[in-house]
């Protein structure tokens, strides 16, 4: 396993990060524990969660994922071995069961969310605390064609000031962004540097062979500002594994179970996906491992967030860390991308 510097911090995170959003929905606590132990044995020292997990978000399962992780730490006593990331939920995702749906990135909501996460996670600190998505209306979660709306949102200054207070209190070590835009990222960085507030060390956005839009406006920011990408959905909800080929819907698979996960199943995405899967097989590669290796190798990626619902999947994902794609495979990927660029943004 390779390790990379997290922003400008002294932390070194594994090139693969263990995602957790299925724990408490598709996975039991025992299965979550087993995944954590297997990931650790494979060299992973970085785990990502969020207060709203598991996904899809429901009132009945709200915060169950953090509870599972906290129970693991209590039972195994290895909290200090992990770089732990979590997120505070914002408005704009149709969530009404968290803090009565009146979600803001102001002092009241950030402090309440952070204190509750710390309690569930059974820890005194979170290494990386992220804003799950912008509070202001903008084009995140696959939205395209920015339409400006004059609406009130918590000033970024207030958000950074309260995060600064939490860093000084020792509750969090570093802050990060998620589902953020180039403007938002640069504005947060500019304010932090001018006011002496915590500087974002990472940005967690989607990135995979079907959605490389991060490359357009944010890749340069990530490299030049040392605010690297924590790539989520690197397998496009499992589409790039090939398991949904020809309309297949395996039992217990995410797209089979949850109709809301339709981002990567439009006709253009399915056509491009088939080409990537075929390319992998032509070169004797596992399609999922090829897709993961591509993401992990990008110079703007700090860590690639892998998720699994079985140890078999997790073992395969871990093996991708050792895969180096040949020039011929990379050329094939670029040819497909040129013919069908970003079919599932």
Per residue in 283-341, pLDDT (tens digit) is 999 999 999 999 999 999 999 999 999 999 999 999 999 999 999 999 999 999 999 99
Token pair listed for 321: 């860390």
How far apart CA 297 and CA 333 sit, in angstroms, is: 13
Q: How far is CA 200 from CA 158, 162, 174, 314, in A?
A: 15, 14, 7, 29
pTM for this model (two decimals): 0.96
Count CB-CB contacts under 10 A for residue 78.
12
How far apart CA 231 and CA 229 sit, in angstroms, is: 6
Collapsed DSSP state (helix, strand, coil) of residue 228: strand
- Residue 41 falls within a domain, yes or no? yes
Checking if the pLDDT of 47 tops 90, the result is yes
Catalytic residue among 53, 129, 232, 244: 53
- Residue 337 falls within a domain, yes or no? no
| C-alpha closest to that of 17 among 209, 178, 210 | 178
**Which residues are 120's β-sheet partners?**
none
Report strand pairing: 16-19 vs 301-306. parallel
Per-residue pLDDT, averaged over 29-46, amounts to 98
Collapsed DSSP state (helix, strand, coil) of residue 246: helix
Beta carbons of 68 and 36 less than 8 angstroms apart: no
- Residue 55 falls within a domain, yes or no? yes
- Residue 26 falls within a domain, yes or no? yes
Q: How far is CA 2 from CA 46, 180, 296, 304, 314, in A?
A: 12, 26, 10, 11, 17
Token pair listed for 144: 């395209």
Per-residue pLDDT, averaged over 107-111, amounts to 97
- Residue 82 falls within a domain, yes or no? yes
Checking if the pLDDT of 245 tops 90, the result is no
Task: Report the pLDDT value the prediction gives residue 92, as an integer from 0 to 100.
Answer: 74
Beta carbons of 72 and 27 less than 8 angstroms apart: no
Indicate the number of domains in the chain. 1
How far apart CA 89 and CA 50 sit, in angstroms, is: 8
Any idea of the CA torsion for 302, 307, 310, 312, to the nearest 10 degrees?
-40
- Residue 269 falls within a domain, yes or no? no
53 as an active site residue: the answer is yes
- Residue 253 falls within a domain, yes or no? no
How far apart CA 288 and CA 87 sit, in angstroms, is: 27
- Residue 142 falls within a domain, yes or no? yes
| Full domain range(s) for residue 65 | 3-240+296-323
Count CB-CB contacts under 10 A for residue 85.
27
For residue 119, give every residue at least 6 positions away whose Cβ sits within 8 Å of its Cβ, in sequence order, or none: 70
Q: What pLDDT digit, counting tens, does each position of 134-187 carry?
A: 999 888 887 778 888 888 999 999 999 999 999 999 999 999 999 999 999 999
Element (H, E) at 240: none
Q: What pLDDT digit, counting tens, does each position of 248-273 carry?
A: 777 777 777 776 667 898 999 999 99
Checking if the pLDDT of 246 tops 80, the result is no
CATH of the domain at 40: 3.20.20.100
Task: Report the pLDDT value the prediction gives residue 260, as an integer from 0 to 100.
Answer: 65
Share of the chain above pLDDT 90, in %: 86
Report strand pairing: 228-232 vs 202-206. parallel
How far apart CA 263 and CA 254 sit, in angstroms, is: 12
């Amino acid at each position: 396993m390779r390790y990379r510097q997290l922003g400008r911090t002294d932390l070194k995170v594994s090139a693969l990060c263990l995602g957790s959003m299925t724990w408490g929905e598709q996975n039991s606590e025992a299965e979550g524990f087993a995944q954590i132990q297997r990931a650790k044995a494979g060299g992973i020292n970085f785990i990502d969660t969020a207060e709203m997990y598991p996904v899809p978000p429901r009132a009945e399962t709200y915060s169950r994922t953090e509870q599972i992780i906290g129970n693991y730490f209590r039972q195994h006593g290895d909290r200090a071995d992990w770089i732990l990331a979590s997120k505070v939920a914002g408005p704009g995702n149709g969530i009404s069961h968290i803090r009565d749906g009146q979600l803001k990135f102001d002092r009241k909501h950030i402090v309440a969310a952070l204190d509750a996460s710390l309690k569930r996670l059974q820890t005194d600190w979170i290494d990386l605390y992220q804003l799950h998505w912008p509070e202001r209306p903008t084009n995140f979660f696959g939205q395209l064609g920015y339409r400006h709306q004059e609406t009130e949102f918590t000033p970024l200054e207030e958000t950074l000031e309260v995060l600064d207070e939490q860093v000084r209190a020792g509750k969090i070590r570093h802050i990060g962004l998620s589902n953020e835009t180039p403007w938002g990222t640069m504005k947060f960085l500019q304010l932090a540097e001018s006011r002496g507030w915590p500087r974002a060390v990472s940005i967690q956005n989607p990135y995979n062979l079907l959605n490389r839009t991060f490359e357009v406006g944010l890749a340069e920011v990530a490299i030049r500002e040392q605010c690297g990408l924590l790539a989520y959905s690197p397998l496009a909800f499992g589409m790039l594994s090939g398991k949904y080929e020809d309309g297949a819907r395996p039992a217990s698979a995410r797209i089979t179970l949850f109709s809301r996960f339709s981002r990567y199943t439009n006709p253009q995405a399915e056509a491009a996906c088939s080409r990537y899967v075929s390319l992998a097989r032509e070169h004797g590669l596992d399609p999922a491992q090829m897709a993961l290796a591509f993401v992990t190798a990008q110079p703007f990626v700090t860590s690639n967030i892998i998720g699994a619902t079985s140890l078999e999947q997790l073992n395969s994902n871990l093996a991708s860390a050792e895969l180096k794609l040949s020039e011929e495979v990379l050329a094939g990927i670029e040819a497909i991308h040129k013919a069908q660029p970003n079919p599932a943004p």
